Amino acid sequence: MRRDVFQAIADPTRRAIITLIALQAMTPNALAENFQTTRQAISKHLRILTECELVKQEQKGREIYYSLEMKKMKEIDKWLEKFRKIWESRFNELDNVLATIKKKKK
């Protein structure tokens, strides 16, 4: 079963992992040090993120490093952009309503 990218990022631990590896590639052990969970749990989260193509693996010697897959992150950002425009429009409308109310109170 192919996992949905939005199901993957719905989990707070996976979002935290994405945040950490956005700064630098990390091994599962290095990632696990940032959480109060087992290394096996972190590996499961990494497997899900890898299946969704949000992270990629790179073998360096005996270690596997995980880093962010920017192409997939850009796809998510592109999908969210249309909603960002709607939100900005609504916030601008709210600003106008609040400004009108403020003027009437004076």
**3-class state of residue 60 by DSSP:** strand
* Residue 47 pLDDT exceeds 80: yes
Give the global pTM: 0.75
Average pLDDT, the chain: 90
* Residue 2 pLDDT exceeds 60: yes
Tell me the CB-side half-sphere exposure of residue 96, using CA atoms within 13 A: 6
pLDDT one-digit tens code per residue, 11-30: 999 999 999 999 999 999 99
The dihedral through the CA atoms of 44, 49, 50, 56 has a sign that is negative
Task: Tell me how far CA of residue 77 lies from CA of 48, 57, 90, in angstroms.
Answer: 19, 22, 19
Alpha-carbon span 71 to 63, nearest angstrom: 24
pLDDT at residue 1 in the model: 56
